[in-house]
Amino acid sequence: MRILLSLYNSLTKKLEGFQPLDDKKVKMYTCGPSVYLLPHIGNYRTFLFEDILHRYLEYTGYGVERVMTITDVEDKAIAEARKEEKTVEELTDKNIKIFLEELGRLKAKIPEHIPRSSTTVDKAVYLLEVLLRKGYAYWYNHSGRRNVYYDPLKFKGFGELYGLDMRKWPKKKRRFHRDTYPGNRWNRGDFILWHGYKEGDKVYWDTSIGKGRPAWNVQDPAMVTQHLGFKADICCGGTDNLIRHHDYVKALIESVTDEPFAHYWLHASHLHVDGKKMSKSRGNIIYPRDLLRRGYQWRHIRFFLICGHYRRRLNFTFTKFAKVCERLDNLRQMVEKFTSDGMLSEKSGMRTKELVVKLAADFEKNMDNDLHVKVAFDEMVKTLSKLVTLKEKHELSLEDLKRTVAKIKAVDQVLQVIF
Protein backbone atom coordinates (compact mmCIF):
# COMPACT_ATOMS: atom_id res chain seq x y z
CA MET A 1 0.00 0.00 0.00
CA ARG A 2 1.32 3.44 -0.94
CA ILE A 3 2.52 5.64 1.94
CA LEU A 4 2.82 8.85 -0.04
CA LEU A 5 -0.04 10.77 1.54
CA SER A 6 1.10 13.42 4.03
CA LEU A 7 -1.34 15.09 6.42
CA TYR A 8 -0.95 17.88 8.94
CA ASN A 9 -1.43 16.32 12.36
CA SER A 10 -2.87 18.64 15.02
CA LEU A 11 -1.50 16.29 17.67
CA THR A 12 2.16 16.59 16.63
CA LYS A 13 1.81 20.02 14.94
CA LYS A 14 3.58 18.83 11.80
CA LEU A 15 3.10 17.22 8.40
CA GLU A 16 3.33 13.44 8.64
CA GLY A 17 3.26 10.52 6.24
CA PHE A 18 0.01 8.63 6.73
CA GLN A 19 0.20 5.00 7.76
CA PRO A 20 -2.90 3.40 9.33
CA LEU A 21 -2.95 0.58 11.86
CA ASP A 22 -4.24 -1.77 9.14
CA ASP A 23 -2.53 -1.64 5.73
CA LYS A 24 -5.86 -2.06 3.93
CA LYS A 25 -8.45 -0.32 6.08
CA VAL A 26 -8.75 3.11 7.72
CA LYS A 27 -10.91 3.77 10.76
CA MET A 28 -12.11 7.36 10.72
CA TYR A 29 -14.06 9.42 13.27
CA THR A 30 -15.64 12.63 11.98
CA CYS A 31 -17.66 15.10 14.03
CA GLY A 32 -21.13 15.62 12.65
CA PRO A 33 -23.66 18.31 13.52
CA SER A 34 -25.50 19.23 16.66
CA VAL A 35 -28.98 19.13 15.18
CA TYR A 36 -30.86 21.60 17.34
CA LEU A 37 -30.47 23.84 14.25
CA LEU A 38 -29.83 23.15 10.56
CA PRO A 39 -26.22 23.25 9.31
CA HIS A 40 -25.07 26.32 7.36
CA ILE A 41 -22.44 26.43 4.61
CA GLY A 42 -19.68 26.92 7.19
CA ASN A 43 -20.60 23.62 8.80
CA TYR A 44 -20.70 21.99 5.38
CA ARG A 45 -17.17 23.14 4.66
CA THR A 46 -15.95 20.85 7.45
CA PHE A 47 -18.19 17.95 6.39
CA LEU A 48 -16.99 18.24 2.78
CA PHE A 49 -13.33 18.36 3.81
CA GLU A 50 -13.99 15.09 5.64
CA ASP A 51 -15.69 13.74 2.52
CA ILE A 52 -12.70 14.66 0.32
CA LEU A 53 -10.38 12.88 2.75
CA HIS A 54 -12.66 9.82 2.81
CA ARG A 55 -12.89 9.70 -0.98
CA TYR A 56 -9.16 10.26 -1.51
CA LEU A 57 -8.29 7.46 0.89
CA GLU A 58 -10.49 5.18 -1.22
CA TYR A 59 -8.90 6.56 -4.39
CA THR A 60 -5.49 5.51 -3.06
CA GLY A 61 -6.73 1.99 -2.36
CA TYR A 62 -7.83 1.96 1.27
CA GLY A 63 -11.13 0.72 2.57
CA VAL A 64 -12.67 3.26 4.96
CA GLU A 65 -14.84 2.55 7.97
CA ARG A 66 -16.19 5.86 9.18
CA VAL A 67 -18.44 7.13 11.92
CA MET A 68 -20.09 10.55 11.81
CA THR A 69 -21.52 11.51 15.18
CA ILE A 70 -24.83 13.36 15.46
CA THR A 71 -25.65 15.21 18.68
CA ASP A 72 -29.40 15.08 19.14
CA VAL A 73 -29.79 15.34 22.93
CA GLU A 74 -28.06 18.21 24.73
CA ASP A 75 -28.85 21.45 26.54
CA LYS A 76 -29.35 23.48 23.33
CA ALA A 77 -31.64 20.90 21.72
CA ILE A 78 -33.78 20.73 24.85
CA ALA A 79 -34.03 24.53 25.00
CA GLU A 80 -34.81 24.85 21.27
CA ALA A 81 -37.50 22.15 21.46
CA ARG A 82 -39.11 23.96 24.38
CA LYS A 83 -39.01 27.21 22.41
CA GLU A 84 -40.67 25.61 19.37
CA GLU A 85 -43.13 23.69 21.57
CA LYS A 86 -41.95 20.35 20.21
CA THR A 87 -40.40 17.26 21.68
CA VAL A 88 -36.63 16.97 21.28
CA GLU A 89 -37.20 13.99 19.01
CA GLU A 90 -39.60 15.92 16.74
CA LEU A 91 -37.12 18.79 16.43
CA THR A 92 -34.04 16.68 15.78
CA ASP A 93 -35.70 14.10 13.50
CA LYS A 94 -36.74 16.90 11.14
CA ASN A 95 -33.28 18.48 11.12
CA ILE A 96 -31.46 15.16 10.68
CA LYS A 97 -33.67 14.30 7.70
CA ILE A 98 -32.87 17.63 6.01
CA PHE A 99 -29.17 17.36 6.88
CA LEU A 100 -28.80 13.91 5.30
CA GLU A 101 -30.73 15.04 2.21
CA GLU A 102 -28.46 18.07 1.79
CA LEU A 103 -25.36 15.96 2.38
CA GLY A 104 -26.49 13.70 -0.45
CA ARG A 105 -27.19 16.66 -2.74
CA LEU A 106 -23.64 17.88 -2.06
CA LYS A 107 -22.40 14.48 -3.28
CA ALA A 108 -20.90 13.65 0.10
CA LYS A 109 -20.57 10.00 1.01
CA ILE A 110 -22.98 8.96 3.71
CA PRO A 111 -20.74 7.30 6.33
CA GLU A 112 -21.22 3.68 7.29
CA HIS A 113 -22.12 4.65 10.85
CA ILE A 114 -24.24 7.70 11.69
CA PRO A 115 -25.20 7.21 15.33
CA ARG A 116 -27.18 9.68 17.37
CA SER A 117 -26.19 10.48 20.92
CA SER A 118 -29.64 9.28 22.01
CA THR A 119 -28.89 5.79 20.65
CA THR A 120 -25.66 5.20 22.60
CA VAL A 121 -26.72 6.03 26.16
CA ASP A 122 -25.85 2.53 27.39
CA LYS A 123 -22.31 2.92 26.03
CA ALA A 124 -22.00 6.33 27.68
CA VAL A 125 -23.07 4.81 31.01
CA TYR A 126 -20.49 2.04 30.58
CA LEU A 127 -17.74 4.63 30.01
CA LEU A 128 -18.88 6.57 33.08
CA GLU A 129 -18.81 3.47 35.24
CA VAL A 130 -15.21 2.78 34.19
CA LEU A 131 -14.15 6.42 34.71
CA LEU A 132 -15.78 6.50 38.15
CA ARG A 133 -14.14 3.24 39.15
CA LYS A 134 -10.69 4.42 37.99
CA GLY A 135 -11.00 7.78 39.76
CA TYR A 136 -11.02 10.07 36.72
CA ALA A 137 -14.67 10.98 37.36
CA TYR A 138 -16.68 11.62 40.51
CA TRP A 139 -20.21 12.37 41.74
CA TYR A 140 -21.18 15.86 42.88
CA ASN A 141 -24.54 17.40 43.77
CA HIS A 142 -25.40 20.66 42.02
CA SER A 143 -28.74 22.51 41.92
CA GLY A 144 -30.70 19.48 43.00
CA ARG A 145 -28.95 17.11 40.60
CA ARG A 146 -26.50 14.30 41.29
CA ASN A 147 -24.06 14.83 38.44
CA VAL A 148 -20.83 13.22 37.29
CA TYR A 149 -17.74 15.35 36.51
CA TYR A 150 -14.32 14.62 35.00
CA ASP A 151 -11.13 15.89 36.63
CA PRO A 152 -8.60 16.78 33.88
CA LEU A 153 -5.76 16.94 36.43
CA LYS A 154 -6.01 13.17 36.82
CA PHE A 155 -5.15 12.60 33.15
CA LYS A 156 -1.50 12.96 32.15
CA GLY A 157 -1.16 14.97 28.95
CA PHE A 158 -4.57 16.62 29.08
CA GLY A 159 -4.91 19.40 26.50
CA GLU A 160 -2.03 18.28 24.26
CA LEU A 161 -4.10 18.53 21.08
CA TYR A 162 -4.69 22.22 21.67
CA GLY A 163 -1.33 22.74 23.34
CA LEU A 164 -2.84 23.74 26.68
CA ASP A 165 -0.44 24.98 29.36
CA MET A 166 -1.59 23.00 32.40
CA ARG A 167 0.67 25.07 34.67
CA LYS A 168 -2.01 27.75 34.45
CA TRP A 169 -4.74 25.42 35.67
CA PRO A 170 -6.39 26.92 38.79
CA LYS A 171 -5.54 25.31 42.09
CA LYS A 172 -9.02 25.98 43.44
CA LYS A 173 -11.61 23.36 42.40
CA ARG A 174 -13.99 24.66 39.70
CA ARG A 175 -16.80 22.84 37.91
CA PHE A 176 -18.58 23.56 34.65
CA HIS A 177 -22.15 22.29 34.64
CA ARG A 178 -23.41 22.98 31.09
CA ASP A 179 -22.99 20.88 27.96
CA THR A 180 -21.39 23.65 25.91
CA TYR A 181 -20.32 27.23 26.42
CA PRO A 182 -20.30 30.09 23.90
CA GLY A 183 -17.08 31.33 22.37
CA ASN A 184 -13.70 29.73 21.85
CA ARG A 185 -12.37 29.67 25.36
CA TRP A 186 -11.10 27.00 27.69
CA ASN A 187 -13.08 26.16 30.81
CA ARG A 188 -10.27 25.59 33.26
CA GLY A 189 -11.92 23.19 35.64
CA ASP A 190 -13.82 19.91 35.87
CA PHE A 191 -16.39 19.32 33.12
CA ILE A 192 -19.74 17.56 33.36
CA LEU A 193 -20.28 14.02 32.06
CA TRP A 194 -23.75 13.18 33.41
CA HIS A 195 -26.78 15.34 34.14
CA GLY A 196 -28.58 13.75 37.08
CA TYR A 197 -32.37 13.65 37.05
CA LYS A 198 -34.33 16.50 38.62
CA GLU A 199 -38.08 16.52 39.24
CA GLY A 200 -39.83 17.85 36.15
CA ASP A 201 -37.16 16.77 33.61
CA LYS A 202 -38.70 15.48 30.39
CA VAL A 203 -35.51 14.10 28.82
CA TYR A 204 -33.79 11.37 30.82
CA TRP A 205 -32.97 7.67 30.90
CA ASP A 206 -33.29 5.20 33.77
CA THR A 207 -29.88 3.47 33.85
CA SER A 208 -27.62 1.42 36.07
CA ILE A 209 -26.15 4.64 37.52
CA GLY A 210 -29.55 6.21 38.06
CA LYS A 211 -31.86 8.52 36.17
CA GLY A 212 -30.37 11.26 34.00
CA ARG A 213 -28.79 11.87 30.62
CA PRO A 214 -25.23 11.82 29.28
CA ALA A 215 -23.63 15.24 28.90
CA TRP A 216 -22.33 16.30 25.49
CA ASN A 217 -18.74 15.71 26.61
CA VAL A 218 -19.20 11.94 26.85
CA GLN A 219 -21.55 11.50 23.90
CA ASP A 220 -18.93 11.42 21.11
CA PRO A 221 -16.69 8.98 23.01
CA ALA A 222 -19.74 6.73 23.42
CA MET A 223 -20.78 6.92 19.76
CA VAL A 224 -17.25 6.44 18.43
CA THR A 225 -16.27 3.50 20.64
CA GLN A 226 -19.59 1.77 20.07
CA HIS A 227 -18.97 1.64 16.32
CA LEU A 228 -15.18 1.84 15.82
CA GLY A 229 -13.92 0.39 19.08
CA PHE A 230 -11.23 2.06 21.18
CA LYS A 231 -8.74 2.54 18.34
CA ALA A 232 -9.09 4.83 15.32
CA ASP A 233 -6.67 6.06 12.66
CA ILE A 234 -7.99 9.55 11.91
CA CYS A 235 -10.16 11.97 13.87
CA CYS A 236 -11.54 15.03 12.07
CA GLY A 237 -13.48 18.19 12.78
CA GLY A 238 -13.40 21.95 12.55
CA THR A 239 -10.78 24.06 14.32
CA ASP A 240 -13.43 24.93 16.92
CA ASN A 241 -13.15 21.31 18.09
CA LEU A 242 -9.60 22.08 19.24
CA ILE A 243 -11.15 24.16 22.03
CA ARG A 244 -12.25 21.65 24.64
CA HIS A 245 -14.13 19.09 22.55
CA HIS A 246 -11.47 16.88 20.96
CA ASP A 247 -9.17 17.05 23.97
CA TYR A 248 -12.16 15.92 26.06
CA VAL A 249 -12.85 13.04 23.65
CA LYS A 250 -9.22 11.97 23.63
CA ALA A 251 -8.86 12.15 27.42
CA LEU A 252 -12.04 10.21 28.14
CA ILE A 253 -11.32 7.33 25.77
CA GLU A 254 -7.67 7.06 26.79
CA SER A 255 -8.61 7.22 30.48
CA VAL A 256 -10.69 4.09 29.91
CA THR A 257 -8.07 2.14 27.96
CA ASP A 258 -4.74 3.61 29.15
CA GLU A 259 -3.69 3.52 25.48
CA PRO A 260 -3.58 6.09 22.65
CA PHE A 261 -6.90 6.44 20.86
CA ALA A 262 -5.76 7.83 17.49
CA HIS A 263 -2.52 9.06 15.95
CA TYR A 264 -3.86 11.51 13.34
CA TRP A 265 -6.06 14.48 14.22
CA LEU A 266 -7.11 16.81 11.38
CA HIS A 267 -8.97 20.11 11.65
CA ALA A 268 -10.51 22.34 8.97
CA SER A 269 -10.47 26.10 9.32
CA HIS A 270 -13.62 28.19 9.43
CA LEU A 271 -15.59 29.85 6.68
CA HIS A 272 -16.26 33.56 7.16
CA VAL A 273 -18.68 35.83 5.31
CA ASP A 274 -17.32 39.17 4.12
CA GLY A 275 -14.40 38.68 6.51
CA LYS A 276 -16.59 38.08 9.57
CA LYS A 277 -17.62 34.99 11.47
CA MET A 278 -21.15 33.83 10.77
CA SER A 279 -23.58 34.51 13.60
CA LYS A 280 -27.26 35.11 14.20
CA SER A 281 -26.58 38.51 15.74
CA ARG A 282 -24.81 39.68 12.55
CA GLY A 283 -27.52 38.20 10.38
CA ASN A 284 -24.92 36.78 7.99
CA ILE A 285 -25.58 33.05 8.23
CA ILE A 286 -25.89 31.47 4.78
CA TYR A 287 -27.65 28.16 4.16
CA PRO A 288 -27.45 26.11 0.93
CA ARG A 289 -31.03 27.07 0.11
CA ASP A 290 -30.00 30.75 0.05
CA LEU A 291 -27.57 30.05 -2.82
CA LEU A 292 -29.95 27.74 -4.66
CA ARG A 293 -32.55 30.52 -4.72
CA ARG A 294 -30.03 32.66 -6.60
CA GLY A 295 -29.85 30.07 -9.38
CA TYR A 296 -26.71 28.21 -8.31
CA GLN A 297 -26.47 24.41 -8.22
CA TRP A 298 -25.39 21.99 -5.53
CA ARG A 299 -22.15 21.29 -7.42
CA HIS A 300 -21.30 25.00 -7.24
CA ILE A 301 -21.69 24.99 -3.46
CA ARG A 302 -19.60 21.85 -3.12
CA PHE A 303 -16.86 23.19 -5.38
CA PHE A 304 -16.59 26.51 -3.57
CA LEU A 305 -16.32 24.77 -0.19
CA ILE A 306 -13.66 22.27 -1.26
CA CYS A 307 -11.65 24.49 -3.61
CA GLY A 308 -9.17 25.96 -1.20
CA HIS A 309 -6.86 24.39 1.34
CA TYR A 310 -8.86 23.02 4.24
CA ARG A 311 -6.50 24.45 6.88
CA ARG A 312 -6.81 28.00 5.57
CA ARG A 313 -9.73 30.22 6.46
CA LEU A 314 -12.14 30.55 3.55
CA ASN A 315 -13.91 33.86 3.03
CA PHE A 316 -17.27 33.92 1.29
CA THR A 317 -18.42 36.90 -0.75
CA PHE A 318 -21.02 36.67 -3.49
CA THR A 319 -18.49 38.07 -5.97
CA LYS A 320 -15.89 35.46 -5.07
CA PHE A 321 -18.49 32.70 -5.07
CA ALA A 322 -19.64 33.67 -8.57
CA LYS A 323 -16.04 33.63 -9.89
CA VAL A 324 -15.34 30.20 -8.42
CA CYS A 325 -18.58 28.86 -9.89
CA GLU A 326 -17.57 30.25 -13.28
CA ARG A 327 -14.24 28.39 -13.09
CA LEU A 328 -16.08 25.13 -12.51
CA ASP A 329 -18.53 25.80 -15.34
CA ASN A 330 -15.61 26.57 -17.67
CA LEU A 331 -13.92 23.27 -16.82
CA ARG A 332 -17.12 21.32 -17.37
CA GLN A 333 -17.55 23.01 -20.76
CA MET A 334 -13.94 22.12 -21.60
CA VAL A 335 -14.57 18.47 -20.71
CA GLU A 336 -17.74 18.46 -22.80
CA LYS A 337 -15.85 19.97 -25.74
CA PHE A 338 -13.03 17.46 -25.33
CA THR A 339 -15.38 14.47 -25.36
CA SER A 340 -17.53 15.72 -28.25
CA ASP A 341 -17.13 14.59 -31.84
CA GLY A 342 -14.05 15.70 -33.68
CA MET A 343 -11.22 14.52 -35.89
CA LEU A 344 -8.88 12.07 -34.16
CA SER A 345 -5.43 10.86 -35.10
CA GLU A 346 -4.69 7.23 -35.85
CA LYS A 347 -1.53 7.36 -33.74
CA SER A 348 -0.71 8.64 -30.30
CA GLY A 349 2.23 11.02 -29.98
CA MET A 350 4.72 11.05 -27.12
CA ARG A 351 3.59 14.51 -25.97
CA THR A 352 -0.01 13.32 -25.76
CA LYS A 353 0.94 10.27 -23.69
CA GLU A 354 2.93 12.46 -21.30
CA LEU A 355 -0.01 14.82 -20.78
CA VAL A 356 -2.45 11.97 -20.11
CA VAL A 357 -0.11 10.56 -17.44
CA LYS A 358 0.41 14.06 -16.05
CA LEU A 359 -3.34 14.52 -15.42
CA ALA A 360 -3.47 11.90 -12.68
CA ALA A 361 0.12 12.34 -11.51
CA ASP A 362 -0.33 16.05 -10.75
CA PHE A 363 -3.64 15.40 -9.02
CA GLU A 364 -2.09 12.76 -6.77
CA LYS A 365 1.04 14.85 -6.07
CA ASN A 366 -1.02 17.75 -4.77
CA MET A 367 -3.58 15.68 -2.92
CA ASP A 368 -0.76 13.73 -1.27
CA ASN A 369 0.52 17.08 -0.01
CA ASP A 370 -2.11 17.53 2.74
CA LEU A 371 -5.07 17.54 0.33
CA HIS A 372 -4.28 20.66 -1.72
CA VAL A 373 -7.50 20.49 -3.74
CA LYS A 374 -7.23 23.93 -5.35
CA VAL A 375 -3.72 23.40 -6.73
CA ALA A 376 -4.68 19.91 -7.90
CA PHE A 377 -7.69 21.36 -9.71
CA ASP A 378 -5.72 24.24 -11.28
CA GLU A 379 -3.05 21.93 -12.66
CA MET A 380 -5.68 19.57 -14.05
CA VAL A 381 -7.27 22.50 -15.92
CA LYS A 382 -3.91 23.50 -17.43
CA THR A 383 -3.14 19.98 -18.59
CA LEU A 384 -6.60 19.37 -19.99
CA SER A 385 -6.51 22.63 -21.94
CA LYS A 386 -3.31 21.40 -23.64
CA LEU A 387 -4.99 18.11 -24.52
CA VAL A 388 -7.96 20.03 -25.98
CA THR A 389 -5.51 21.96 -28.17
CA LEU A 390 -3.89 18.72 -29.36
CA LYS A 391 -7.30 17.34 -30.23
CA GLU A 392 -8.11 20.47 -32.24
CA LYS A 393 -4.84 19.90 -34.12
CA HIS A 394 -5.89 16.28 -34.78
CA GLU A 395 -2.96 14.98 -32.73
CA LEU A 396 -5.08 12.93 -30.34
CA SER A 397 -6.00 9.28 -30.90
CA LEU A 398 -9.19 7.53 -29.83
CA GLU A 399 -7.17 5.61 -27.25
CA ASP A 400 -5.78 8.90 -25.89
CA LEU A 401 -9.30 10.25 -25.62
CA LYS A 402 -10.56 7.20 -23.73
CA ARG A 403 -7.60 7.19 -21.36
CA THR A 404 -7.97 10.92 -20.65
CA VAL A 405 -11.68 10.61 -19.89
CA ALA A 406 -10.98 7.64 -17.62
CA LYS A 407 -8.41 9.71 -15.70
CA ILE A 408 -10.81 12.64 -15.31
CA LYS A 409 -13.57 10.33 -14.10
CA ALA A 410 -11.21 8.78 -11.57
CA VAL A 411 -10.27 12.24 -10.27
CA ASP A 412 -13.95 13.19 -10.14
CA GLN A 413 -14.64 10.21 -7.89
CA VAL A 414 -12.90 12.40 -5.33
CA LEU A 415 -14.01 15.87 -6.40
CA GLN A 416 -17.59 15.00 -7.45
CA VAL A 417 -18.12 18.23 -9.40
CA ILE A 418 -17.38 17.48 -13.08
CA PHE A 419 -19.70 14.73 -14.32
Q: What is the pLDDT of residues 144-178, one digit of tens each?
A: 999 999 999 999 999 999 999 999 999 999 999 99
Average pLDDT over residues 99-116: 97
Q: How far is CA 130 from CA 150, 214, 225, 231, 364, in A?
A: 12, 14, 14, 17, 44
Q: Which residues pair with 369 in a beta bridge?
A: 6
Same domain, 319 and 242: no
Same domain, 135 and 46: yes
More confident residue, 342 or 297: 297
Residue at 338 is within a domain:
yes
Same domain, 303 and 255: no
Q: How far is CA 393 from CA 238, 379, 400, in A?
A: 47, 22, 14
| CATH number assigned to the domain comprising residue 251 | 3.40.50.620
Bridge pairing between strands 14-17 and 25-34: unpaired
Domain boundary, last residue among 245, 268, 291: 268
Please write the tens of the pLDDT for every residue from 59-78.
999 999 999 999 999 999 99
Task: Select from 391, 365, 373, 217 the least CA-distant residue to 307.
Answer: 373
Domain containing residue 121: 6-268
pLDDT at residue 308 tops 60: yes
- pLDDT, position 343: 73
Confidence of residue 2 (pLDDT cuts 50, 70, 90): low
Average pLDDT over residues 385-403: 90
| Number of domains forming the structure of the chain | 2
pLDDT at residue 345 tops 90: no
pLDDT mean across residues, the chain = 95
> For residue 92, what are the contacts with CB-CB under 8 A and spacing of at least 6?
35, 36, 72, 73, 77, 116
| Burial of residue 140, with CB atoms counted within 10 A of its CB: 0-12 exposed, 13-18 middle, 19 or more buried | middle
Same domain, 176 and 86: yes
Same domain, 65 and 165: yes
Same domain, 95 and 44: yes
End-to-end CA distance of the chain: 28
Domain boundary, last residue among 268, 285, 316: 268
Please write the tens of the pLDDT for every residue from 234-282.
999 999 999 999 999 999 999 999 999 999 999 999 999 999 988 877 8
